[in-house]
Amino acid sequence: MATSEIIKIISSKTGLSEDEILTKIRDKQEELSGLVSEEGAAYIVANELNVKMENRILESAIPIADIQNGMKSATVNGRIMRIFGPHKFKTKKGKEGKVANILIADKSGSIRVALWNMSDIEKIEKNEIRVGDIVQVKNGYVRPGYQGGLEINLGTRGSLITNLNELDDKEFPESIDGQSYSKIKDLIPGARANIIAKVKSKFEVKEFEKNGRSGKVANLIVSDETGNIRLVLWNEKTSIMDELNLGDILKINNGLVKEGIRGLEVHANNFTRIEKNPVGVELKENTSERIHIKDISDIGKNVEIRATVTDFFGERFSYNLCPNCNKRIEGDVCEKCGKVKPKKLLVLNLMVDDGTGLIRVALFGGVVKNFLGMDESEIEKDSAKVKEKVRQIIGTEFIFSGVTKMNSFTGKIELNARSIAPVNPEKEAERILRSIENSEV
């Protein structure tokens, strides 16, 4: 560890200035007749000041988002978001042991870490490792977690390095009430995540049967200042739906991020905690950035475009979905889940042009109904009427707001529309005036 880093740690622990500490280090070198290096003298000074230093070497870490299943020596840095255990267990041979788990996060995502080394477990038991600490998980092996997603396991080859004062606190998600929270735009599939978001829309609770067992599922659209995402509530978590109102703020801990048919989703199950309207928590409004189509280059971005409908795609506009796995099915049989009571998915794909470029816009569910002015049964039964409606709309300009997404089939970025509105000349004039005023400031 560099002397400058040691000085910073000593300063943070003792309140002494860095100049004062450097003077003590040089005095110590002189006292020992130059027999120790500056770094060695720094360790001695730290010891004399009762500052615990670990003789450790930090390795180059990768973002959590880049973790892949099967990695043998994964190293990541992160803030501890939650601590689970330690828990006792017995092996098949009757041997007793302990395991603890931590959930860590960086700006790219979060991941669960299983700690098997007794030295790490003892630190948790002695409260030497706490929620909010920044740690390095070094040389862990990656495998699928029992709650879904991936997890890192730290065995005899791995280590957990704590007291990372040399890492910048600002490089990690902020901590609220001892928890770290991610922005919606930073979520990645397969990771566990904590988010704070506002309810934008809610849908009815639905019941289903799978493998002879009944269950419940409900969907919400929630947002923060960086974007929107679908929140899927399973079974007992659906009980909160009766007391939820549009505009309520939800603090969601330990949700699982999955890739859904319309983009990323956060799934809340038995391991997830949800708090409604937490005291002292405020949330900025999510605003879409007006942008030209030619300038759209990032996925997961909340944008608004003003564009003209030039074409549409498809012969069908209503599909059956499995209520359990959300896969498209024909009839009422899912290859994965068996016979089910399918739910309907309305889909309409448009091509739009704003004079700078073209982009495909995907409409789903209620957005399709509102755009066409038709109900679900009409859209399902009368595709000819849908086509005629869209043909009448071709050549009309609208304001499209939504989230950019990569279409895995075409390899191109498209827009998943959250709302579509006619162009309001007065509002557009006000926008132009504001733009001119801002450019003159």
The residue extents of the domains of the chain are: 3-48, 64-175, 188-276, 289-431
Compute the distance between CA of residue 219 and CA of residue 369 in angstroms, rounded to an integer: 18
Q: What fold characterizes domain 64-175? A: OB fold (Dihydrolipoamide Acetyltransferase, E2P) (2.40.50)
Tally of CA atoms within 13 A in the half-sphere of 309 that contains its CB: 25
Q: Write down how long the chain is.
A: 441
Which pLDDT band, with edges at 50, 70 and 90, does 55 fall under? very low
Token digits for 300? 């997961």
pLDDT at residue 351 tops 90: yes
pLDDT at residue 47 tops 80: no
- The predicted pLDDT at position 232 comes to 92
Compute the distance between CA of residue 363 and CA of residue 371 in angstroms, rounded to an integer: 9
Compute the distance between CA of residue 321 and CA of residue 343 in angstroms, rounded to an integer: 5
SS3 119: helix
Compute the distance between CA of residue 367 and CA of residue 376 in angstroms, rounded to an integer: 11
Of the candidates 276, 285, 107, 67, which has an alpha carbon nearest to the alpha carbon of residue 193? 107
With tokens 């019941």, the residue in question is 207
- The predicted pLDDT at position 183 comes to 79
Mean pLDDT (whole number) for 329-347: 82
Token digits for 196? 């704070």
The string of pLDDT tens digits covering residues 227-237 is 788 899 999 99
- Amino acid in position 204: E
Of the candidates 264, 269, 112, which has an alpha carbon nearest to the alpha carbon of residue 183? 264
pTM reported for the whole predicted model: 0.47
| β 109-115/333-334 pair status | unpaired
- The predicted pLDDT at position 392 comes to 92
% of the chain at pLDDT higher than 90: 15
Compute the distance between CA of residue 231 and CA of residue 236 in angstroms, rounded to an integer: 14
The segment with the largest mean pLDDT, out of 157-161, 291-295, 433-437, is: 291-295
pLDDT at residue 58 tops 70: no
By mean pLDDT, which of 161-170, 296-305, 378-387 is the weakest? 161-170
| β 343-353/318-321 pair status | antiparallel
Architecture of the domain whose range is 289-431: Beta Barrel (2.40)
Compute the distance between CA of residue 11 and CA of residue 19 in angstroms, rounded to an integer: 10
pLDDT at residue 274 tops 80: yes
% of the chain at pLDDT higher than 70: 90
Q: What are phi and psi of 437, to 5 degrees?
A: -60, -40
Mean pLDDT (whole number) for 314-341: 80
> Same CATH topology for 188-276 and 289-431?
yes
The string of pLDDT tens digits covering residues 366-375 is 888 889 988 8
Q: What are phi and psi of 268, to 5 degrees?
A: -110, 120
What are the residues whose beta carbons fall under 8 Å from the beta carbon of 416, sequence distance 6 or more? 262, 263, 362, 364, 402, 403, 404, 405
What are the residues whose beta carbons fall under 8 Å from the beta carbon of 205, sequence distance 6 or more? 216, 217, 218, 238, 241
- Amino acid in position 285: E
Q: If you average pLDDT over every residue of the chain, what do you get? A: 82
pLDDT at residue 146 tops 70: no
pLDDT at residue 52 tops 90: no
Which pLDDT band, with edges at 50, 70 and 90, does 36 fall under? low
Dihedral (Cα; 117, 123, 126, 128), 10-degree rounding: -170
Compute the distance between CA of residue 317 and CA of residue 350 in angstroms, rounded to an integer: 12
- The predicted pLDDT at position 292 comes to 92
Helix (H) or strand (E) holding 344: strand 343-353
Q: Does 3.40.50.2000 match the CATH number of domain 188-276?
A: no
Q: What is the DSSP string of 174-237?
A: -EETTEE---GGG--TT-EEEEEEEEEEE---EEEEETTEEEEEEEEEEEETTEEEEEEEEGGG
The segment with the largest mean pLDDT, out of 167-176, 263-272, 431-440, is: 263-272
Compute the distance between CA of residue 204 and CA of residue 244 in angstroms, rounded to an integer: 12
